[in-house]
Amino acid sequence: MPRILKSLIATACVALVLSASALATRIMVVSNIHYMDRALYQGSELFIRALRAGDGKYAQFGDELMAALCDQVRALRPDALIVTGDLTFNGERDSHAALAGWFARIEAQGTPVWVIPGNHDINVTSARGFAGDGWYAVPPVAPEEFCAIYADHMLPPEGGAGLSYAVDVNSSLRVAMTDVAYYEGGAQTFGLFTAGHAAWLEEALSGAGGTELITATHHSLLPHTRFSQESFLMFGHEAMEALALKHGVRLNLSGHMHAQHIARQGALADAALGAFCSWPHRYALVTLDRGALTYQAKSLDPVFLPEGFLEDSRAWFEGIAREKTEAALEGVDEDDQALMAGFAARFNLAYFAGTYDRDDPAWRDDPAYRLWRARADEPFGQYLNLVMDEPTGDNLCCAFNPD
């Protein structure tokens, strides 16, 4: 959608909100689409094998997922769709271009789409396509190309803070789209909030009057888990957190973890959204209604997906965890191995969906639980025991009452 048209729509929205201030604002959020242009993998067994050895991405069905997202947005008619990074599988230029086509389709339905990059989007030197049993290098995108491809889904970056920009969804809500991905000289996994980001964010969050302020990042703003904290939590998070608190930000939208998880610290929550590319294909709805702010994680409605899609996607995700666990348990008694692998696969599903409850006795009463406890010193057992023991709360919903 051309920016001028978007601006006219935004102005019309502001007028509507002014004339009917009781109307709620709703934004939809997705993260980690990891979209791959079908032409880059069609018919390749190697691509399927690479996915099978991965973390559960159902990226061979990116078009089916994007078509469902279009339908979901049309059904919900939110005021905006926010995408918090890792737009593409691994930074392929063709994937970015094709995904921008899907976003144009969503905008044609009347919902503006706003994006920031993640760690798999810009200057990814390992971007590749797949053919048959082999692969080939494909062009990645530089920051300028990223801006050109998504010109209708970003505002011009203001400098000093990567590709960050602030968007007024309407007169009630501003979202500071904060690009903390690090891609100078090649994409890195970590996120970094610099002094330049701080100067930009201070300005972006100032002078907003009675407007609700939300921030959006790819990497986590708050600590979520003791496992692999260093790669999820952005460096410099303390400075961003201080600014968020100073300006009354109550919610940050992130996604890098791929697992659905909400971290809370005082008046601030960081909602890490489950990866859209993996079962159960999460999106979130954020509602602002007379000062009350609510975040609710949901899953794509199966009516928008091919029959059996969700069941197959769940089996794919579960099967990957099961196979990895079996490999890690080589040499263990066959019966114990089957019990433990089944347990780990079920746990993984629940953990990534954001529905794992440490206090649910069903986990501890499972015969495999005791077996895993006995292997707490081994690499996979260590991970499982660490994550199983973490405090759990409501990882799907958080709500803030009016100030």
The CA-CA-CA angle for residues 247, 249, 254, to 5°, reads 135
The helix (H) or strand (E) run that includes residue 389 is: none
At 157, the amino acid letter reads: P
Pick the closer one to Fe ion by CB: 118 or 381.
118
Judged by CB under 5 A, the chain residues 303 through 342 that form the site for Fe ion are none
For residues 83 and 87, what is the distance between their CA atoms, to the nearest angstrom?
A: 8
> Min. distance of Cβ 78 from Fe ion in angstroms?
23
- Among 32, 178, 252, 337, which residue sits at the site for Fe ion (rule: CB under 5 A)? 32
Strands (E), 118-181: 128-131, 134-137, 165-170, 173-177
> Min. distance of Cβ 120 from Fe ion in angstroms?
6
For residues 36 and 143, what is the distance between their CA atoms, to the nearest angstrom?
A: 19
> Min. distance of Cβ 278 from Fe ion in angstroms?
9
- In this chain, which stretch among 80-88, 121-129, 236-244, 263-271 interacts with Fe ion, using CB under 5 A? 80-88
Q: Which residue is nearest to Fe ion (CB)?
A: 86
> Min. distance of Cβ 389 from Fe ion in angstroms?
25
Pick the closer one to Fe ion by CB: 187 or 328.
187
Find, among 304, 316, 337, 328, the residue nearest to 383 by Cα.
328
> Min. distance of Cβ 31 from Fe ion in angstroms?
8
> Min. distance of Cβ 86 from Fe ion in angstroms?
4
- In this chain, which stretch among 16-24, 83-91, 243-251, 259-267 interacts with Fe ion, using CB under 5 A? 83-91
The conformation of residue 7, written as its DSSP 8-state character, comes to H
- Contact yes or no for 237/196 (Cβ under 8 A): no
> Min. distance of Cβ 75 from Fe ion in angstroms?
26
Pick the closer one to Fe ion by CB: 10 or 216.
216
Omega before 280 within 30 of 0, i.e. cis: yes
92 sits near Fe ion (criterion: CB under 5 A): no
- Among 79, 86, 92, 94, which residue sits at the site for Fe ion (rule: CB under 5 A)? 86
For residues 152 and 101, what is the distance between their CA atoms, to the nearest angstrom?
A: 11
- In this chain, which stretch among 26-34, 45-53, 214-222, 232-240 interacts with Fe ion, using CB under 5 A? 26-34
Pick the closer one to Fe ion by CB: 32 or 178.
32
Total number of residues shown for the chain: 403
> Min. distance of Cβ 84 from Fe ion in angstroms?
10
Edge-to-edge order in the sheet of strand 165-170: 165-170, 173-177, 212-216, 251-254, 268-272, 261-265
Pick the closer one to Fe ion by CB: 17 or 65.
65
Provide the token pair at 398.
Answer: 């958080």
| Cα–Cα separations (whole angstroms), residue 176 to 173, 204, 205, 216, 276 | 10, 7, 7, 6, 21
> Min. distance of Cβ 55 from Fe ion in angstroms?
8
> Min. distance of Cβ 349 from Fe ion in angstroms?
18
Provide the token pair at 195.
Answer: 């002094």
Judged by CB under 5 A, the chain residues 125 through 164 that form the site for Fe ion are none
- In this chain, which stretch among 32-40, 59-67, 89-97, 296-304 interacts with Fe ion, using CB under 5 A? 32-40
Pick the closer one to Fe ion by CB: 232 or 372.
232
- In this chain, which stretch among 79-87, 97-105, 280-288, 307-315 interacts with Fe ion, using CB under 5 A? 79-87
How many residues at the interface with Fe ion, by CB under 5 A?
2
Give the alpha-carbon dihedral of 1, 278, 162, 191, to 10 degrees: 170
Is 333 strand, coil or helix? coil
DSSP result, 12-48: HHHHHHHHTTTSPEEEEEE----B--GGGTTT-HHHH
Pick the closer one to Fe ion by CB: 92 or 212.
92
- In this chain, which stretch among 84-92, 265-273, 298-306, 364-372 interacts with Fe ion, using CB under 5 A? 84-92
- In this chain, which stretch among 29-37, 63-71, 212-220, 316-324 interacts with Fe ion, using CB under 5 A? 29-37
- Interface residues with Fe ion (CB under 5 A) are 32, 86
